[in-house]
Amino acid sequence: MNSSVIVFPGSNCDRDVATALTNLQFKNKMVWHKDSELPKSDLIVIPGGFSYGDYLRSGAIAAKSNILKEVIKAANSGCLVLGICNGFQILIETGLLQGALLRNKNLKFVSKDINLKIINNENKFCNNYKKNSVISLNIAHNEGNYFTQKDHLKELEDNNLIPFKYCDVEGSINESSNPNGSLNNIAGILNNNKNILGMMPHPERMVDNLISNSNGIELFTSILS
Amino acid sequence: MRFAVIITLKKDVLDPQGKVVEQTLQSMGINSLKNLRQGKYIEIDLNESDEKKAHNIIEEMCKKLLVNLIIEEYTIRKI
């Protein structure tokens, strides 16, 4: 499977994702933001970091970059697109995903491992996870507080477009297990066609038992299968 | 022609920064403070002498990049 990782000035998780993808047998290419052509891709990853120094709003400038025009075209024709952390913020700014990522409710940059409940696994990114299982991934962000209008929130819930929610170690989804104030503890969302996933947690940081756990592997193997 | 754009979070969107600034001012003894919202201020110079056209260009800038219309609102002022 061919993957492309988009690199902006200020991206800092691009190589982590590339390593995870390559180790899991993707044929990966790095794509610079000024490029105007995408290599043939089954999966496009927009990685985490601080593209353009988070100027104006996180992801706002990156969303207007050259290569994003191609990413939008590919996404609209069904290519799988995964935005992690800043990548999620960029997808929101392009309009490919709806809603907004506000500053964390407690105003702090939160960097820690959190628990996630797999709410919906019937999509190309999560089908190797068991529904309702609890996994642990890392988060590291300042603007991850997901917000959207009431009717869109209902649409997300009703159409199974929320793959993960923040929970405690037992799987309870409540205010104390919400690290950033996100509506309904949302940690990631899909578009209506389920080919675009934006998520704040970092699966690429959890693929090697030597340095963490391996709870992120299934996300990538789901895409492969 | 010069314009100022003022961007603030919509009323129903939580503004945690503004809240902290508000609480700090209140704790400093400014008891008459009722409510405070924090936002952004952008100054723009345009090469356009027709005010209506200029206003439309600024409006386009706001909608396409400067403002996230889901959570923010804006006002444009000629300065």
Which chain B residue shows the shortest CA-CA distance from A89? B68
Residue B12 pLDDT grade (very low, low, confident, very high; cuts 50, 70, 90): confident
Contact A146, A168 (CB under 8 A): no
What range defines the domain where residue A198 resides? 2-224
Q: Which residues of B5-35 are buried (b: 16+ CB within 10 A; e: fewer)?
A: bebbbeeeeebbebeeebeeeeeeeeeeeee
Are A56 and B20 an interchain contact pair (Cβ–Cβ within 8 Å)? no
Average pLDDT, 10 consecutive residues per value, chain A (225 residues): 97 97 97 95 97 93 94 97 98 96 92 97 97 98 95 97 97 97 97 98 96 96 94
A183–chain B Cβ distance below 8 A for any pair: no
Q: Which pLDDT value is given to residue B2?
A: 95
The answer on pLDDT for B17 being more than 90 is no
- Look at chain A and report how many structural domains it folds into: 1
Domain CATH number, residue A120: 3.40.50.880
C-alpha distance from A100 to closest chain B C-alpha (Å): 7
Rg (C-alpha) for chain A, rounded Å, is: 16
Contact A144, A108 (CB under 8 A): no
Domain spans in chain B, listed from the N-terminal domain onward: 2-78
A130's CB contacts (< 8 A; 6+ apart) are A118, A121
B41–chain A Cβ distance below 8 A for any pair: no
- Which sequence positions of A are flagged as catalytic? 85, 202, 204
Q: Which pLDDT value is given to residue B20?
A: 87
Are B71 and A107 an interchain contact pair (Cβ–Cβ within 8 Å)? no
**Complex ipTM more than 0.90, yes or no:** no
Instruction: Say whether domain B2-78 belongs to CATH 3.30.1280.10.
Output: yes
Contact A171, A150 (CB under 8 A): no
